[in-house]
Amino acid sequence: MKLVFTGIQGCGKGTQARLLVEKHGFRLLEMGGEFRRVIASGSELGKKIQKLYDAGDQITAELGVAVMEDAVQNIIDNHNDENVIFDAFVRNDWNLEIFNRLLPDYQVVLFRLSEEKSKQRLLGRMFNPKTGETFMTGMTIDPKTGDDLIQRADDNEDGILKRIDLYNDVTLPIVRIQRQEGRVLEVNADQAVEEVFAELESILELN
């Protein structure tokens, strides 16, 4: 089973992905982790990325495409018999082309949440800068690690609205294409974490 998780900011897909990893042994891929993997490999691609990082330069679109192709090909070559989650990998046209070409049987899990609820969640969201894990309003300490939680610099109203607009303008049109291709499974993300996970397990027939 190869799944792409997508949804508006604050929908909780990262939390649900980690629950699938913990309970059902899924492998989770995130782009940040894939950049680190490629750098650690010592490959020519990794050296190019490290050079840009060292110079403080932005990663080019060309290198972003190369890392994504490398990530998908690595799964095909080394983990094809595993259940895999690609967290927010398919966000634009070239992401879509890579997945349709290399993983033609993948499915998409869309976590549905209203824009208003997205804003409410993000305005109160905290995160652990060491692990990247997010937490809801009112929490100041990571219960697993004891680390202090902070608020993301762009989790303010202007930053949130820009990210929602980007999702609506760029990602949602891709989801519509994937729905026409018959790939999309939908989950109601406006529920408690446990209820969302129960629905997710049901649609994936993991019960």
pLDDT per residue over 48-103, tens digit each?
Answer: 889 888 887 777 878 888 888 888 998 999 999 999 999 878 878 888 999 999 99
Q: Is residue 57 part of a domain?
A: no
What is the pLDDT at residue 191? 95
Beta bridge partners of 135: 126
- What is the CATH classification number for the domain harbouring 8? 3.40.50.300
Is residue 76 situated within a structural domain? no
How high is the pLDDT of residue 57?
Answer: 76
Helix (H) or strand (E) holding 4: strand 2-7
Which tens digits make up the pLDDT trace of 118-157?
888 877 677 777 776 777 666 778 888 888 777 666 567 7
User: For the whole model, what pTM was predicted?
Assistant: 0.80
Say yes or no to pLDDT of 11 above 80: yes
Given a cut of 80, is residue 176 above it in pLDDT? yes
> Is residue 134 domain-resident?
no
Tokens of 18: 């980690």
**Which residues span the domain enclosing 99?**
2-26+83-113+167-203
> Is 56 part of a structural domain of the chain?
no
Question: Is 103 part of a structural domain of the chain?
Answer: yes
CB 11 within 8 A of CB 109: no
Domain for residue 133, yes or no?
no
What does the alpha-carbon distance between residue 3 and residue 1 come to, in Å, rounded to a whole number? Answer: 6
Please state the domain count of the chain.
Answer: 1
Residue 32 lies in a domain: no
Q: Report yes or no on 162 lying in a domain.
A: no
pLDDT digits (tens, 9 = 90+) for 21-56: 999 999 999 877 888 888 998 999 889 889 888 887
Degrees to nearest 5, angle at CA 127 with 12 and 58: 95
CB neighbourhood size of 139 (10 A)? 15
Handedness of CA 191, 33, 49, 55 (dihedral sign): positive
